[in-house]
Structure 1
Amino acid sequence: MSKGQGMGIDGDQCAQGGEGQAWLWNRPVGECRATLILAHGAGAPMDSEFMQQMAERLAARGVAVLRFEFDYMAARRLDGKKRPPNPQAKLLEQWRAVHDRVRQQVAGPLAIGGKSMGGRMASLLADEQGADALVCLGYPFHAIGKPDKPRVAHLAELRTPALIVQGERDPMGDRPKVAGYTLSQTIQVHWLTAADHDLKPLKSSGRTHAQHLEAAADAVAAFLTR
């Protein structure tokens, strides 16, 4: 794997990405069995609590995680002003550049994916880029309140092995709604009981968010290192 592996995850290791932007690495202390490039969702940065906890949990399970920020989010970090996501073409362009750069730095399996929007963008180019695997955490099967406009056409033909970790009551794709979609046989969907888009369960379920994050990390690590 890349130089610096085994440095530990007691503090995120920073590396320069494209155009002077910083990347965040979480690396396993021991053997690295796979690498995952994990992109953030539309409204939260690469170091949000969700992204941080998932990266730490995966690194503890032998998966190195690289996080980066899309340009609109990196700009918000500089001046604090909220911006909408960049146009899809721009997001995909940046995803390609990050994947190509990381591919040059690591050996072994390299997966791409992300939280919500980040995962959706990864799914759009997984086949094109020849990614070894795809991981989506809370896939936005449709916009909130717009189940009649699904974002699934490309998922029916996906060739890349994929894992979608989804909450059963996700307002962007709950279990009954997703059951009606035609998905490629390469896609596995791992359902979390009574969980929402951030994988948080109802209190009445008897589950905690931490337990769901642990379950998600277990599923992702098993999928990537099988």
Structure 2
Amino acid sequence: MIEIVETDIGTARLTWHRAEDARFVLALSHGAGGGIEARDIQALARVLPQHGVTVVLVEQPWRVAGRKVAPAPKTLDAGWRGIWPALTGMGLPVIAGGRSAGARVACRTATELGARAVLALSFPLHPPGKPEKSRVDELLGAGVPTLVVQGGNDPFGRPEEFPGSFESSGAPDSPGSSQGGFELVQVPGADHGLAVPKRSPLTQEEALKVVTDGVVRWVVSLG
């Protein structure tokens, strides 16, 4: 089901993937360089409703309007705040989520909006090649349980660059590593789009299963 929501900065679009007996609502927004067609977002929309999670894919107003360049962070936050009432109408706990820039929005607004948790796909820890410009404070400042799903070869921040010690094979039976108030699941060899190279020991399908399995386990742990 597609729902149109008017916000203070324009029209947003929500695409609902409903679970029959939902325990949570997961809102997932896109990054600054793509839309809700991203491979990880679509995989989660397919899988999570089978596990009691209604998934809502959120298209920010700038994307709905057809613009190619994302606005400033404060404008992205305003768009996210504008769609939040539509997410809480079911009376279920809402997990705020997104990929890349969308993950940053979810972290920045989680406590303010009363999110149950945050799912950060490909969190951009720093601009490529500029580790000194860290955004770790946004991540650690979410104030709620947070899961980061990160490619092992992400130029915006490899798993070992995140605070705390992290070692994980990223295998489907590995829940990730708890560190600094958040957990991290690594997708071995994957880039910022969670794509794996042809030489990778994992196929693209297997890599996405690492993502979905990790998220399912984490959601179950939320109760």
Task: Give the TM interval when normalised to the shorter protein.
Answer: 0.7 to 0.9
Letter in 2 for 1:31: D
Deviations 1:3-33 (A, max 9, x none): xxxxxxxxxx1122225543101112x3212
CA contact (8 A) 2:117 2:146 kept: yes
Deviations 1:69-125 (A, max 9, x none): 11211111xxxxx5311111111011112123311x122221001111101111111
Q: Please say if 1:101 is aligned against 2:86.
A: yes
CA distance in 1, matches of 2:31, 2:68: 13
Q: Please say if 1:27 is aligned against 2:18.
A: yes
Letter in 1 for 2:18: R
CA distance in 2, matches of 1:148, 1:166: 19
Change in 2 beyond 3 A, CA 1:148/1:55: same
Change in 2 beyond 3 A, CA 1:159/1:22: closer
Within 5 Å, give how 1:94-133 maps onto structure 2. Answer: 94-103=79-88, 105-133=89-117
CA contact (8 A) 2:149 2:211 kept: yes
TM-score, normalised to structure 2, is 0.83
Residue 209 (structure 1) shift: 1.6
**Alignment match, 1:44:** 34
Within 5 Å, give how 1:113-192 maps onto structure 2. Answer: 113-179=97-163, 185-192=180-187
Letter in 2 for 1:89: K
CA contact (8 A) 2:12 2:83 kept: no
CA contact (8 A) 1:136 1:165 kept: yes
CA distance in 1, matches of 2:27, 2:40: 15
SS where residue 146 of structure 1 aligns? Answer: coil
SS where residue 203 of structure 1 aligns? Answer: coil
* Matched length: 206
User: Structure 1 stretches (4+) deviating beyond 6 angstroms?
Assistant: none
SS where residue 45 of structure 1 aligns? Answer: coil
Q: Please say if 1:197 is aligned against 2:192.
A: yes
Letter in 1 for 2:100: S
- Uncovered stretches (5+) of structure 1, i.e. residues with no partner: 1-12, 77-81
Q: Please say if 1:15 is aligned against 2:10.
A: no
CA distance in 2, matches of 1:92, 1:38: 14
Structure whose residues are more often strand by fraction: 2
TM-score, normalised to structure 1, is 0.82
Residue 180 (structure 1) shift: 6.5
Residue 127 (structure 1) shift: 1.5
CA distance in 1, matches of 2:65, 2:154: 29
**Alignment match, 2:168:** none
